[in-house]
Amino acid sequence: MKQNYHSGTSRKNKEKIIRSIFFVIALASGLTLGLIVVFLFMEGLPIFSKVSVKDFIFGIYWYPTDDPADFGIFPLIIASLSVTLVSSVISIPLGISSALFLAEIASRRVREIVKPIVELLAALPSVVIGFFGMVVVAPFLQEIFDIPVGLNLFNASLMLAFMSVPTICSISEDAIFSVPKELREASLALGATQWETIWRVIIPASISGISTAVILGMSRAIGETMVVLMVAGGAAMVPRSIFDPVRPLPASIAAEMAEAPFRGDHYYALFATGIVLFLFTMAFNMVADYISNRYRQVGAATL
């Protein structure tokens, strides 16, 4: 009896230990996030002893290898924002329309074929999309718009749109799909057509999920590196037209890191650029998180 009692407590202790082990491992993601912040700031902040935060962010000259060097990332920020904006003009309608088709119109059979296609589109490596943009889209744009360079803001936005459509589509589809059947049936029973039901009932009911999808799609576009590195053209200037070459934040980091002397000003400036990019995506994610928590959607979407 005593022994039994004994093994009972040891069993309990063992369970406790196992539970704690899993708890500690579950903290790994948070720890990684923390380490990322620490190391970005550790390697990025020293640049601000040379350049003020204001001059760094609003300076319009990015000549990191000149003597004296200019570290103004304003053109890079504008480039990042403009490719994200232009790409979302394409990707938002495309993504939401595809989601509506999949969730509301397509038959089960069609859905089972189309969903994997969207997933495969999401799985295309960014370097392949960038390559496609360089080799196929750039000459094509040059020809039809009669412009000097095919690698430009518009081309990059187009390629980025293809990368964010699957994100927008699958997250909004999830949100639309989980609108309760009763709402749909009630609207149809009142004599509304299927389209009227979608427009007046389904979309309002799932708008928070759709907004989250849009924001996450834009967040993916602003952080995407290879596409803008290969396709955007690379000129660190504030663009004047949609066909100007630009140099978004990730492209600048990826292109210059290899040549930046270790722990030199250029190196620190690139890490500081990483901080700015990190803060942008962080802000996007916080907004998405806020929307999906604050405006709980009708029905049980798992976002």
Partner 1 sequence: MKDIRKIKKGRKITQGIFFSLFKIATAINGIALLVVISFLVINGWRAINWTFLTQAPYDSMTKGGIFPCIVGTIIISLGAILIALPIGVSSAIYLNEYARPGKIVRMIRLGINNLAGIPSVVFGLFGLALFVIWLGFGVSIISGALTLAAMTLPVIIGASEEALRNVPNTYREASLGLGATKWQTIYRVVLPSALPGILTGAILGISRVAGETAPIMFTAAVFYTPSLPSSPFDEIMALPYHIYVLATAGTEIEATRHLQYGTALVLIFIVLGLNLLAIFYRTRLRRRL
Nearer to partner 1, 68 or 261 (CB): 261
DSSP class of 297: P
Degrees, nearest 5: CA angle 271-213-97: 130
In the complex, the smallest distance separating the C-beta of residue 277 from partner 1, rounded to whole angstroms, is 6
The helix or strand, by DSSP H or E, that contains position 63, with its residue range, turns out to be strand 62-63
Nearer to partner 1, 67 or 93 (CB): 93
Cα–Cα distance between 246 and 248 in angstroms, integer?
6
Nearest to 206 by CA among 165, 178, 169: 178
Name residue 226's amino acid.
M
In the complex, the smallest distance separating the C-beta of residue 203 from partner 1, rounded to whole angstroms, is 11
Residues in contact with 300: Cβ distance below 8 Å, sequence separation at least 6, in sequence order: 178
Nearer to partner 1, 241 or 302 (CB): 302
Nearer to partner 1, 128 or 186 (CB): 128
Report CA dihedral (9, 13, 15, 20) to the nearest 10 degrees.
160
Nearer to partner 1, 71 or 284 (CB): 284
Nearer to partner 1, 68 or 303 (CB): 303
Cα–Cα distance between 300 and 176 in angstroms, integer?
10
Query: What are the C-alpha distances in Å from 15 to residues 9, 11, 261?
Result: 10, 6, 52
In the complex, the smallest distance separating the C-beta of residue 71 from partner 1, rounded to whole angstroms, is 16
In the complex, the smallest distance separating the C-beta of residue 261 from partner 1, rounded to whole angstroms, is 13
In the complex, the smallest distance separating the C-beta of residue 238 from partner 1, rounded to whole angstroms, is 22
Nearer to partner 1, 240 or 273 (CB): 273
In the complex, the smallest distance separating the C-beta of residue 11 from partner 1, rounded to whole angstroms, is 6
Degrees, nearest 5: CA angle 36-80-230: 90
In the complex, the smallest distance separating the C-beta of residue 290 from partner 1, rounded to whole angstroms, is 11
Q: What are residue 233's DSSP bridge partners?
A: 246
Q: At what angle do helices 207-223 and 153-177 cross, to 10 degrees?
A: 150
